[in-house]
Copies of this chain bind each other. A is one copy, B any other.
Amino acid sequence: MVVVMDGRASAEQVEAVIMRLEECGFSAHPIYGVRRIVIGAVGDRRVLNSLGLETMPGVERVVPIMKPYKLVSREAREENTVVQVGHVAIGGSQLAVIAGPCAVESRDQLLAAAHMVQQAGAAILRGGAFKPRTSPYSFQGLGEKGLKLLAEAARQTGLATVTEVVDEHSLELAVEYVDMLQVGARNMQNFRLLQMVGRSGKPVLLKRGLSATVEEWLMAAEYIMSEGNGQIVLCERGIRTFEHSTRNTLDLSAVPLVKSLSHLPVIVDPSHATGDRRLVGPMARAAVAAGADGLLIEVHPEPTQALCDGPQSLTPSQFVSLMEELRAVAAAVGRAA
Q: Interface size (A, Cβ < 8 Å)?
A: 100
**Inter-chain pairs besides A2-B40, A54-B311, 12 sampled, C-beta below 8 Å:** A29-B29, A36-B65, A49-B308, A55-B313, A136-B195, A136-B219, A186-B189, A252-B286, A256-B282, A286-B286, A286-B290, A332-B332
Which of B133, B253, B310 sits near A273, CB closer than 8 Å? B253
A residues lining the B interface (CB < 8 Å)? 2, 4, 7, 29, 31-36, 38, 40, 42, 46, 49-50, 52, 54-56, 63, 65-66, 68, 75, 132-139, 166-168, 186-187, 189-192, 195, 210-211, 213-216, 219, 222-223, 226, 239-246, 249-257, 260, 273-274, 277-279, 282-283, 285-291, 303-308, 310-311, 313, 325, 328-329, 331-333
Contact of A279 among B215, B249, B257 (CB under 8 A): B257
User: Are B211 and A191 in contact, with the CB atoms below 8 A?
Assistant: no
Asked if B249 and A249 make an inter-chain contact with CB atoms under 8 angstroms apart, the answer reads: yes
Partner of A245, one of B54, B214, B306: B214
A52 touches which of B35, B242, B255, B310 (Cβ 8 Å): B310
For A253, give its contact among B33, B253, B254, B274 (CB under 8 Å).
B274
Whether the pair B239, A243 counts as a contact (CB closer than 8 A) is: yes
Q: B residues within 8 A CB of A46?
A: 135, 137-138
Alpha-carbon distance A142/B192, docked complex (angstroms): 15
What are 30 residue pairs bridging A and B, where the CB atoms are less than 8 Å apart in the complex?
A29-B29, A29-B31, A31-B40, A33-B42, A35-B66, A36-B66, A46-B137, A46-B138, A52-B304, A55-B303, A63-B65, A135-B222, A186-B189, A186-B190, A213-B243, A214-B245, A239-B242, A239-B243, A241-B242, A241-B249, A243-B254, A246-B253, A252-B252, A253-B273, A260-B278, A285-B290, A325-B332, A325-B333, A328-B333, A329-B333
